[in-house]
Amino acid sequence: MDIDKNSAAKALARDMIAAGAVLFRPSEPFVWASGWLSPVYIDSRKVLSLPSTRDLVKERLAQSVRELYPGAGLIAGVATGAIAHGALVADALGLPMVYVRPKPKDHGTRSLVEGILPEGARTVVVEDMVSTGKSSLAAVGALRSAGASVLGMTALFTYGFPVAEEAFAAAGVPLETISTYDAVVEAALEAGILSPSDEDTLREWRRSPQTWKQ
């Protein structure tokens, strides 16, 4: 990430913190659905409630697509968190959109991909946040199975876990994000929300979240 992108990522992190979309509890960790303990919780849906932050996210995600995937012909949002973000990006770019379910619906067409997906459509996947990458890459797999040509993924936020970076590389899916875990931690430190000892805890957790204990 170059200096300009780093500054932009940190500015967005400050907005997310101000919106209450980032919560820190190093001494009383959150429990993820996976069972992992975490000293931080990110709720990217909250940015949708703030028009100025929402517009910022929309433009930065859209700019990411413009710069990296100028030949994109379709936007695919990942349900449920990134359906709204995908719609915002598709609207900003004047492109059609589909969204991908985590599992087929249990009635009707039993589709995983909802919307009109032309065969070979040059598709960019929009995510809200990337942790291990498992659900994000499952959406990529569903799109490929349905006939899409997936160019890459752009997301609001990534934790930067090594396991995710390895998974995206193995799947051949480029990933660009407009804010990062590092940017969130740096912004919180600068705002005095975190202490140096909290920073040590957060860095230690990110190195091995699956085995981390408070």
137 domain-assigned: yes
Upper half-sphere CA count for residue 173 (Cβ side, 13 Å): 30
What pLDDT, on a 0 to 100 scale, did the predictor assign at position 107?
73
pLDDT at 171 over 80: yes
What pLDDT, on a 0 to 100 scale, did the predictor assign at position 5?
81
d(Cα 21, Cα 42) in Å, to the nearest integer?
A: 6
d(Cα 136, Cα 26) in Å, to the nearest integer?
A: 27
CATH number of the domain encompassing residue 127: 3.40.50.2020
d(Cα 119, Cα 197) in Å, to the nearest integer?
A: 52
pLDDT at 2 over 70: no
212 domain-assigned: no
What pLDDT, on a 0 to 100 scale, did the predictor assign at position 67?
95
- Average pLDDT in the 23-32 region? 92
How large a percentage of the chain has pLDDT more than 90? 82
Asked whether the whole model's pTM tops 0.85, one would answer: yes
Q: Which residues are CB-contacts of 182 (< 8 A; sequence separation ≥ 6)? A: 160
Which of the four pLDDT bands, split at 50, 70 and 90, describes residue 1?
A: very low
Domain extent for 76: 3-207
97 domain-assigned: yes
86 domain-assigned: yes
213 domain-assigned: no
180 domain-assigned: yes
Number of domains in the chain: 1
What pLDDT, on a 0 to 100 scale, did the predictor assign at position 116?
97
202 domain-assigned: yes
Residue-wise pLDDT tens digits, 96-121: 999 999 988 777 677 899 999 999 99
60 domain-assigned: yes
DSSP state of 80: T
